[in-house]
Structure 1
Amino acid sequence: MRTIKRIHKAEYRPIADLVTYSPMPTRSLQQIDPFIFLNHHGFQTYPERNQGLPFGPHPHRGMETVTFILEGDIMHKDSSGHESVIGPGGVQYMTAGRGLIHAEVSSTEFKRNGGDLEILQLWLNLPAAKKMITPNYVGLQKEEIPAFDLDGGKIKVQQLFGEWNGVQGAFEGTFPLTMSTIYQEKGGKFEKVIPSEENIFFYIVRGELKVNGEEIQFRNLVEFTNSGEKIAVEALEDAILILGHAKPFNEPMVAQGPFVMNTQQQIYEAYQDYQAGKFGSWDH
């Protein structure tokens, strides 16, 4: 069994009227290399005629985002020309690479009608050799993402990256990565063997799980050591889990605002390039 090193409770960090919790980075946990940042927005219910998500045009370089839409929607636009509205159960994967400008806002319909919202955004680092690759974006609706059942249907797995149970993930990662969204009914159990040299990202979105014998509530991130290979998970109530694993890069990381690079000088250059218009134009 993998040993649990520490359990990190997500800190409450509201953004305007958007309920937001973040377990990473905090004072107790900088990153689980190459997983570097998580924001958990909601659960909350928006009234009619609301302002929606507050993430207007802003730049990124040197990292990637994986955005999980559980309730509500996100309208994505970026300076590379990508545009989409992704609804409940869908996932967005964006590679900032050498730089882009994007906005993540609510659809006109959501702002008019309101409704439930719960969205998570995970940042992935990029290895030094791929920091400056061409930006890319893929948004997939729920029905476009491969899924399979475990434990007689008590567990439903959306396979996002890599392969599990013979099912290949929906997205082609920039580096070797395995990631799933796991929906568990109370009593549902699964085990997974993860190579000890890979770091595990394990965040409980909803419900309560027993993880390698330890009971853990939602809005907690479980940090594992690299000893042992198996994790055993049982749902003590209906639950949603984001589970990812990848080999660490073991490279220096300097994160400042929307940029994630290897040196302070590269951060300085990112700001210069952005101000010089090298991230593309924003004419939406």
Structure 2
Amino acid sequence: MRNIKAIHKTVYSPVDDLETFRAIPTQSINYLDPFLFLNHHGPQFYVKNNNGLPFGPHPHRGFETLTYVLKGDIAHQDSTGGESVIKEGGIQWMTAGSGLIHSEVSSQEFMQNGGKVEVIQLWLNLAAKNKMVEPNYRGLTFEDICHFDLDGGKVNVDLISGNWDKHKGPIDSLSNLTMASIRLKADARLSLEVDEKNEILFYLAYGELVVNATEIQKHQLVQFENKGSEISIKANSDSYLIFGYGKPFNEPMVAQGPFVMNSQEEIMAAYADFRSGKMGKWR
């Protein structure tokens, strides 16, 4: 068994009028190399003629973002020309790399009609050798993602990147990350094997699980020891799990505002490049 090292509760950290629960970073955990940041927005209901999500144009450099759209939609636009509207069940994977400006707002349709919003966003670090790669964006619908069932259909896996038995996710991660969401029905059972060289991201968005004989509630992040490989899961209720793993970089990490680099000098260079327009112009 891979023993549980700690269980971290989210902190309530609203963004404007958007209800937000932050799992990483908090006072109890700074980051899980290479997983830097996890915000769980909603679920929240927006009335008709609303202002939508509050993530207008802003820059990024030095990492990737993975956004799960559980409810509602996200309209993405960036300074490299990337553009899409992703609805419920889809994801967005953006490689900020050397830098770009992007926005993540609600579609005009959603702002006009209203509805429920729920979004989970991760920041995934890049190794020093990949910090300055060319920016890239992909928006995937639910149908674009690799799906398969386990435990007689009680477990539904949405595989985004990496390999899982004979299955392969549609995203080729620069950091060789395996990323998925897992939907478990009540009484479902799942056994996972993760090599101890890998760091694990394990966030329960909702539901209740028993993980290696320990009860886990919604809005909890499970941190595992780096010994052993087996994780045994039983669902006490319908649950939704964000699950991923990858090898730590074990490199210096400096995060400031929208940039994540390996030194303070590189952070200052990022701000200078942004101000001079090297990350693109906003249309």
> Which residue in 1 is equivalent to 2:269?
269
Q: Does 1:256 align with 2:234?
A: no
Aligned-partner Cα distance in 1 for 2:179–2:236 = 22
Give how far 1:28 is off.
1.2
Aligned-partner Cα distance in 2 for 1:26–1:17 = 20
1:123-162 correspondence runs (5 A): 123-162=123-162
Aligned-partner Cα distance in 1 for 2:74–2:95 = 17
> Which residue in 2 is equivalent to 1:108?
108
Q: Does 1:16 align with 2:25?
A: no
SS at match of 1:186: coil
1:197-208 correspondence runs (5 A): 197-208=197-208
Q: Does 1:164 align with 2:176?
A: no
Give how far 1:24 is off.
0.6
> Which residue in 1 is equivalent to 2:66?
66
State the TM-score, normalized to the length of structure 2: 0.99
> Which residue in 2 is equivalent to 1:53?
53
> Which residue in 2 is equivalent to 1:174?
174
SS at match of 1:102: strand
Aligned-partner Cα distance in 2 for 1:185–1:132 = 42
> Which residue in 1 is equivalent to 2:92?
92
Given residue 102 of structure 2, which amino acid in structure 1 is its aligned partner? H
1:180-259 correspondence runs (5 A): 180-259=180-259
Given residue 152 of structure 1, which amino acid in structure 2 is its aligned partner? G
Given residue 224 of structure 1, which amino acid in structure 2 is its aligned partner? F
Given residue 271 of structure 1, which amino acid in structure 2 is its aligned partner? Y
Aligned-partner Cα distance in 1 for 2:179–2:192 = 12
5+ residue gaps, structure 2, are none
Aligned-partner Cα distance in 2 for 1:177–1:65 = 12
Given residue 229 of structure 2, which amino acid in structure 1 is its aligned partner? E
Given residue 178 of structure 1, which amino acid in structure 2 is its aligned partner? T
Aligned-partner Cα distance in 1 for 2:9–2:28 = 10
Q: Deviations over 1:111-165 (max 9, x none)?
A: 0111011100000000000000000000000011110000000010000110113
Aligned-partner Cα distance in 1 for 2:195–2:131 = 26
Aligned-partner Cα distance in 1 for 2:276–2:150 = 51
SS at match of 2:268: helix
Given residue 98 of structure 1, which amino acid in structure 2 is its aligned partner? S
Aligned-partner Cα distance in 1 for 2:114–2:235 = 31
Aligned residues with identical type, % of pairs: 54
5+ residue gaps, structure 1, are none
Aligned-partner Cα distance in 2 for 1:122–1:6 = 20
Q: Which 4+ runs in 1 deviate beyond 2 A?
A: none
Q: Deviations over 1:162-201 (max 9, x none)?
A: 0113110121101111111000100111101100010000
Given residue 150 of structure 2, which amino acid in structure 1 is its aligned partner? L
Given residue 44 of structure 1, which amino acid in structure 2 is its aligned partner? Q
SS at match of 1:129: helix
Q: Deviations over 1:189-223 (max 9, x none)?
A: 11011000100000001111111111110110000
1:6-45 correspondence runs (5 A): 6-45=6-45
Aligned-partner Cα distance in 1 for 2:147–2:165 = 10
Root-mean-square deviation (Å)? 0.5
> Which residue in 1 is equivalent to 2:78?
78
Aligned-partner Cα distance in 1 for 2:3–2:179 = 20
Aligned-partner Cα distance in 2 for 1:93–1:63 = 11
